[in-house]
Structure 1
Amino acid sequence: MGHPFGEEPMNASNVTPLGAPVRRKEDHRFITGKGRYTDDMNRPGQAHAYFLRSPHAHARIRGIDISAASAMPGVVAILTGADLAQDGVGDLICGWMIHSVDGTPMRMGSHPSLAKEKVRYVGDHVAVVIAETFNQAKDAAAAVAVDYEVLPAVADTGAARAAGAPQVHEVAPGNTVFSWELGDKAATDTAFGQAAHVVRLDLVNNRLAPNPIEPRAAIGEYDSGDEAYTLWTTSQNPHVARLVLSAFVGIAPENKLRVIAPDVGGGFGSKIFIYAEETVCVWAAKRVGRPVKWTSDRSEAFLSDAHGRDHITHAELALDAEGHILGFRVETTANMGAYLSTFASAIPTYLYATLLSGQYAMPAIHCHVDAVYTNTAPVDAYRGAGRPEATFLVERIVEIAARTLGIDSAEFRRRNFVRSFPHQTPVIMNYDAGDYFASLDKALELADYAGFPARKAEAARRGKLRGIGLSNYIEACGIAPSAAVGSLGAGVGLWESAEVRVNPTGNVEVLTGSHSHGQGHETTFAQLVSARLGIPIEQVTIVHGDTDKVQFGMGTYGSRSGAVGMSAIVKALDKVEAKAKKIAAHILEASEGDIEFKDGRFSVAGTDRGLAFAEVALNAYVAHKFPTSEIEPGLKEGAFYDPTNFTFPAGCHVCELEVDPDTGVTEIVNFVAVDDFGVVINPMIVEGQVHGGIAQGVGQALLEAVHYDADGQLVTGSFMDYTMPRAANLPSFRVGLTETRCPSNPLGIKGCGEAGAIAAPPAVINALTHALGTEDVPMPATPAKVWKIIRDLPAAAQAAE
Structure 2
Amino acid sequence: MNIPASSVKFGQSVKRQEDGRFLRGKGKYVDDMILPGQLYAAFARSPMAHARITGIDLDDAAAMPGVRRILTGRDLVDAGLPALPAGWAIFSTDGEPQKIGVRNAIATDRVRYVGEPVALVVAETLAQARDAAEAVMVDYEDLPVAVDVLDAVADGAPLLHDEIAGNCAFDWDIGDSAAVDAAFDKAAHRVSLTLRNNRLIPNAIEPRAINAQWDAGSEELTVFLTHQNPIGMRMFYAAAFGLAAEHKLRMVSPDVGGGFGSKAHNYPEELAVTFASKMVDGPLKWTADRSEAFLTDAHGRDHLTEVELALDADGKFLALRADTLANVGGYMSSSGSLVPTYMYSTMLSGQYAIPAIHARVRAIYTNTCPVDAYRGAGRPEAAYVVERIVDVAARELGIDPAEIRRRNFITEFPYQTPVVYEYDSGDYEKTLNAALELGDYGGFAARKADSQARGKLRGIGLAAYVEACGIGPSAKLAKLGGGAGMWESAEVRVHPVGTVEILTGAHSHGQGHATTFAQVASDRFGVPIENISVIQGDTSRIQAGTGTYGSRASVGMSATLRACDQIIAKAKKIAAHLMQVEYDAVEFDEGIFSSKDTNVTLAFPEVAFAAHAASGFPTDEIEPGLVATSFFDPPEFTYPAGVYVCEVEIDPDTGTVEVASFCAADDFGNVANPMIVEGQVHGGVTQGIGQALWENAMYDPETGQLMSASFMDYGMPRAQGVPEYKLEFACTPSPSNPLGMKGCGEAGAIGSPPAVINAVCNALGVRHVDMPATPEKIWRLCQEREQG
TM exceeding 0.5: yes
Q: Does 1:406 align with 2:398?
A: yes
8 Å CA contact 2:241–2:275 kept in 1: the answer is: no
User: What's 1:476 paired with?
Assistant: 468
Structure 1 CA distance for aligned equivalents of residues 155 and 347 of structure 2: 32
User: What's 1:30 paired with?
Assistant: 22
Which of 695, 698, 704 pairs up with 1:704? 695
User: What's 2:74 paired with?
Assistant: 82
Which of 111, 115, 134 pairs up with 1:142? 134
Question: If the length of structure 1 is used for normalisation, what is the TM-score?
Answer: 0.97
Which of 623, 627, 648 pairs up with 1:632? 623
Which of 215, 230, 240 pairs up with 1:238? 230
Secondary structure, counterpart of 1:719 in structure 2? coil
Deviations 1:421-469 (A, max 9, x none): 1111100111111000111101100110000001101110100000000
8 Å CA contact 1:91–1:249 kept in 2: the answer is: no
Deviations 1:293-328 (A, max 9, x none): 111111000000000000000000000000000000
**How far has the Cα of 1:61 moved from its partner?**
1.2
Which of 736, 747, 754 pairs up with 1:755? 747
Q: Does 1:91 align with 2:88?
A: no
Counterpart mapping for 1:659-674 below 5 A: 659-674=650-665
Structure 2 CA distance for aligned equivalents of residues 773 and 472 of structure 1: 21
Unmatched segments (≥5 aa) in structure 2: none
Q: Does 1:184 align with 2:176?
A: yes
Q: Which amino acid aligns with 1:368?
A: R
Secondary structure, counterpart of 1:732 in structure 2? coil
Structure 2 CA distance for aligned equivalents of residues 592 and 64 of structure 1: 75
Which of 281, 286, 296 pairs up with 2:278? 286
Which of 555, 580, 585 pairs up with 1:594? 585
Count of residues in correspondence between the two structures: 784
User: What's 1:799 paired with?
Assistant: none
Secondary structure, counterpart of 1:455 in structure 2? helix
Q: Does 1:153 align with 2:132?
A: no
Which of 201, 206, 210 pairs up with 1:209? 201
Which of 628, 641, 650 pairs up with 1:650? 641
Which of 673, 677, 680 pairs up with 2:668? 677
Structure 2 CA distance for aligned equivalents of residues 306 and 82 of structure 1: 24
Change (3 A) 1:759 1:353: same
8 Å CA contact 1:157–1:310 kept in 2: the answer is: no
Q: Does 1:435 align with 2:413?
A: no
8 Å CA contact 1:251–1:283 kept in 2: the answer is: no
Structure 2 CA distance for aligned equivalents of residues 198 and 794 of structure 1: 30
Structure 2 CA distance for aligned equivalents of residues 184 and 365 of structure 1: 6
Structure 1 CA distance for aligned equivalents of residues 245 and 157 of structure 2: 42
Structure 2 CA distance for aligned equivalents of residues 252 and 688 of structure 1: 43
- Identity across matched positions, percent: 58
Counterpart mapping for 1:507-526 below 5 A: 507-526=499-518
Counterpart mapping for 1:172-321 below 5 A: 172-248=164-240, 250=242, 253-321=245-313
**How far has the Cα of 1:63 moved from its partner?**
1.7
Q: Which amino acid aligns with 1:679?
A: N
Q: Which amino acid aligns with 1:100?
A: S
Structure 1 CA distance for aligned equivalents of residues 719 and 460 of structure 2: 21
Structure 2 CA distance for aligned equivalents of residues 96 and 758 of structure 1: 23
Secondary structure, counterpart of 2:359 in structure 1? strand
User: What's 2:351 paired with?
Assistant: 359
**How far has the Cα of 1:249 moved from its partner?**
5.5
Which of 490, 493, 515 pairs up with 1:501? 493
Q: Does 1:734 align with 2:694?
A: no
User: What's 1:695 paired with?
Assistant: 686
**How far has the Cα of 1:795 moved from its partner?**
5.2
Structure 2 CA distance for aligned equivalents of residues 670 and 252 of structure 1: 57
User: What's 1:54 paired with?
Assistant: 46
User: What's 1:109 paired with?
Assistant: 101
8 Å CA contact 1:13–1:538 kept in 2: the answer is: no
8 Å CA contact 2:462–2:755 kept in 1: the answer is: yes
8 Å CA contact 2:581–2:597 kept in 1: the answer is: no
Secondary structure, counterpart of 2:90 in structure 1? coil
8 Å CA contact 2:579–2:598 kept in 1: the answer is: no
Structure 1 CA distance for aligned equivalents of residues 400 and 111 of structure 2: 52
Deviations 1:147-169 (A, max 9, x none): 11111121112221111111111
**How far has the Cα of 1:83 moved from its partner?**
1.6
Structure 1 CA distance for aligned equivalents of residues 98 and 596 of structure 2: 62
Change (3 A) 1:606 1:193: farther
Counterpart mapping for 1:545-564 below 5 A: 545-561=537-553, 563-564=554-555
Which of 448, 470, 479 pairs up with 1:456? 448
Secondary structure, counterpart of 1:699 in structure 2? helix
**How far has the Cα of 1:714 moved from its partner?**
0.6
Q: Which amino acid aligns with 1:570?
A: L
Structure 1 CA distance for aligned equivalents of residues 6 and 171 of structure 2: 56
Secondary structure, counterpart of 2:270 in structure 1? helix
Structure 2 CA distance for aligned equivalents of residues 653 and 606 of structure 1: 55
Q: Does 1:371 align with 2:356?
A: no
Secondary structure, counterpart of 2:194 in structure 1? strand
Unmatched segments (≥5 aa) in structure 1: 1-11, 797-801
Q: Which amino acid aligns with 1:125?
A: P
User: What's 1:9 paired with?
Assistant: none
Deviations 1:200-235 (A, max 9, x none): 010000000001111111101111221111111110
Structure 2 CA distance for aligned equivalents of residues 249 and 321 of structure 1: 62
Name whichever of 544-553 and 606-615 sits farther off: 606-615
Q: Does 1:20 align with 2:2?
A: no
Q: Does 1:127 align with 2:123?
A: no
Secondary structure, counterpart of 2:279 in structure 1? helix
**How far has the Cα of 1:794 moved from its partner?**
5.2
**How far has the Cα of 1:605 moved from its partner?**
3.3
Structure 2 CA distance for aligned equivalents of residues 216 and 504 of structure 1: 39
Which of 583, 595, 607 pairs up with 1:616? 607
Name whichever of 282-291 and 645-654 sits farther off: 282-291
Question: If the length of structure 2 is used for normalisation, what is the TM-score?
Answer: 0.98
User: What's 1:63 paired with?
Assistant: 55
Q: Which amino acid aligns with 1:689?
A: Q
8 Å CA contact 2:329–2:371 kept in 1: the answer is: yes
Q: Does 1:575 align with 2:566?
A: yes
Q: Which amino acid aligns with 1:691?
A: H
Structure 2 CA distance for aligned equivalents of residues 627 and 776 of structure 1: 74
Q: Which amino acid aligns with 2:354?
A: M
Name whichever of 257-266 and 609-618 sits farther off: 609-618
Change (3 A) 1:13 1:602: closer
Aligned-pair RMSD on alpha carbons?
Answer: 1.1
Secondary structure, counterpart of 1:578 in structure 2? helix
Secondary structure, counterpart of 1:619 in structure 2? helix
Deviations 1:673-711 (A, max 9, x none): 110000011000000000000011000000000011112
Deviations 1:29-73 (A, max 9, x none): 111111111111111111111111111111111221111111111
